[in-house]
Amino acid sequence: MAVFLLLIFSFDAFPVKMPKGGVVAVSFAPMLASVFLFHPIIVVIIVLLSDFLSWLRQKNKRPVQYLFNASQLALTLGCTALVYNYYYQGSLPKLDLQFIGAAVAAVFVFLVLNSLLVTLVISLVDQVRFWPLWLSNLKWSIPNYIGTAPLGILIAFIYLNLGLWGLILFLFPLILARYSFQAYIDIRQSFLDAIETLSLAIEAKDPYTRGHSTRVADYVGTLAKELKWSDDRVERLQYVAVVHDLGKVAVPESILKKPDRLNEEEFQEMKTHAEIGATIMANTKYFDEGADIIRHHHERWDGTGYPARLWGEEIPMGARILAVADSFDAMTSDRPYRKALGFDVALQEILKGAGTQYDPAVVEAFVRIYPQLVGQAVPAPAEAAKKEAAPAKTTTTLHSAKA
């Protein structure tokens, strides 16, 4: 019992930070092993003591936070142990089909119950939507739990057959798994930080578009979901939307800030931003088709757009989605040469462009989500940008909640 208490406490001290504020602790492996080896009451005692030790080592001790974390984790692991013992009647685990089935059921119960309880509290505290937050954290935690669960099984069998020294030797691959997963998350976060920096550079060059990229990213996300894109493709398209005007850094400020409509020569200069932005992002592996979306987001359905005069389905689907979202936000935002149009007026302009400027199918989807988009568009541009840039007040942890 003391060995597993030490293992859980040690790995809880080095959690893996998730992309959207959550963390996953590798301590799930010894927790799961304890479920296989001990009575449910012993499992609950182990996790309560471990959580208490983790709370003691915190600099800012919050009793309410500890009480929630300890109670929800004890409830979760207790239920997990009960489910395991219900499906597996043996006193000690044996590697057979009955054990594997019971182990799968135990992992499922732990993941669902723990994530539901923690996400519910975070959504109430931070006043964010429950389901998107829950699904987002599940997306990143499920692979980790699937990878860690076999380690929990191995820990249990190594302890049964080799004792303490076997566990010590086994710690090395477990530590490696933790640092490998954290390295992937860190690299991805560095890339996203670079995207945010590029977005700020665009807005610094053209202050009239402040918040434009953020709003367009929101719009394309909602629109792509309506068109049944997968969550991964939606996320990537939103990153592309954030930097879709990156090429404007090469356009003279005299053109960007001109208070009148551009003449032909100036318009030709402005048109280069799509190609320039695509060229900048072309070597970014994470974007894949993102460079083509940036390059062609000013193409028209009838083939009269730029830079390649593509028409119809020759235009990348992501670019067709981005074109509608970009136009809607441009029309409903102040520009140097005109005031913003009303939302309903902008919608009518989008409808007029169906079949000529825009993909009719994308316009139909846009009409369906229009009420939702109007709700998103209510904040002023500066407020929207500030909201997007502000860090979350609380992080979601698939073991516990940390403020």
Q: For residue 269, report the phi and psi dihedrals to the nearest 5 degrees.
A: -65, -45
Structure confidence at residue 385 (pLDDT): 34
Q: If you average pLDDT over residues 263-278, what whole number do you get? A: 93
Q: Does the residue 49 lie in any domain? A: yes
Domain range holding 21?
A: 2-185
Last residue of a domain, one of 155, 185, 215: 185
Q: Does the residue 193 lie in any domain? A: no
Q: Are 163 and 224 contained in the same domain?
A: no
- Whether residue 295 contacts residue 275, with contact meaning beta carbons closer than 8 Å, is answered with yes
User: Higher-confidence residue: 328 or 138?
Assistant: 328
Structure confidence at residue 368 (pLDDT): 95
Q: Are 332 and 281 contained in the same domain?
A: yes
The CA distance from 156 to 153, in Å, is 5
The CA distance from 74 to 49, in Å, is 10
Q: Are 102 and 243 contained in the same domain?
A: no
Q: Are 48 and 13 contained in the same domain?
A: yes
The CA distance from 96 to 100, in Å, is 6
Q: Quick count: other Cβ atoms within 10 Å of Cβ 68?
A: 16
Q: Are 65 and 28 contained in the same domain?
A: yes
The CATH number of whichever domain residue 109 belongs to comes to 1.10.1760.20
The CATH number of whichever domain residue 292 belongs to comes to 1.10.3210.10
Q: Are 217 and 153 contained in the same domain?
A: no
Q: Which of 62-66, 214-218, 247-251, 350-354 shows the lowest mean pLDDT across its residues?
A: 62-66
Q: Does the residue 195 lie in any domain? A: no
What DSSP string runs through 351-400?
HHTBTTTB-HHHHHHHHHHHHHHHHHH-S-HHHHHHHHHSPPSSB-BSS-
Q: Is a pLDDT exceeding 60 seen at residue 221?
A: yes
User: Higher-confidence residue: 8 or 245?
Assistant: 245
Structure confidence at residue 55 (pLDDT): 80
User: Higher-confidence residue: 386 or 99?
Assistant: 99
User: Higher-confidence residue: 175 or 245?
Assistant: 245
Number of independent structural domains in the chain = 2
Q: Are 26 and 151 contained in the same domain?
A: yes
Q: Are 82 and 230 contained in the same domain?
A: no
Residue tagged 């519910």 (tokens): 120
- Whether residue 19 contacts residue 192, with contact meaning beta carbons closer than 8 Å, is answered with yes
Number of helices and strands (H, E) in the chain?
15, 2
Q: pLDDT by residue (tens digit) across 277-313?
A: 999 888 776 666 889 999 999 999 999 999 999 999 9
In 3D space, the residue among 78, 98, 75 whose CA is nearest the CA of residue 88 turns out to be: 98
Structure tokens at 296: 């062609």
User: Higher-confidence residue: 81 or 377?
Assistant: 81
Q: Is a pLDDT exceeding 90 seen at residue 1?
A: no
Q: Are 177 and 211 contained in the same domain?
A: no
Q: If you average pLDDT over residues 368-375, what whole number do you get? A: 86
Q: pLDDT by residue (tens digit) across 88-144?
A: 987 788 888 999 999 999 999 999 998 888 888 888 888 888 888 888 778 777 887
Question: Residue 51 corresponds to which amino acid?
Answer: D
Structure confidence at residue 165 (pLDDT): 81
Q: Quick count: other Cβ atoms within 10 Å of Cβ 312?
A: 12
The CA distance from 153 to 172, in Å, is 16
Q: Are 113 and 216 contained in the same domain?
A: no
- Whether residue 272 contacts residue 247, with contact meaning beta carbons closer than 8 Å, is answered with yes
Alpha-carbon distances, residue 127 vs 19, 69, 121, 130, 392 (angstroms): 19, 19, 10, 9, 11
Q: If you average pLDDT over residues 339-351, what whole number do you get? A: 93
Q: Are 38 and 67 contained in the same domain?
A: yes
- Whether residue 137 contacts residue 20, with contact meaning beta carbons closer than 8 Å, is answered with yes
Last residue of a domain, one of 126, 154, 185: 185
Q: pLDDT by residue (tens digit) across 4-39?
A: 887 777 777 666 666 555 556 678 888 999 999 999
- Whether residue 182 contacts residue 16, with contact meaning beta carbons closer than 8 Å, is answered with yes
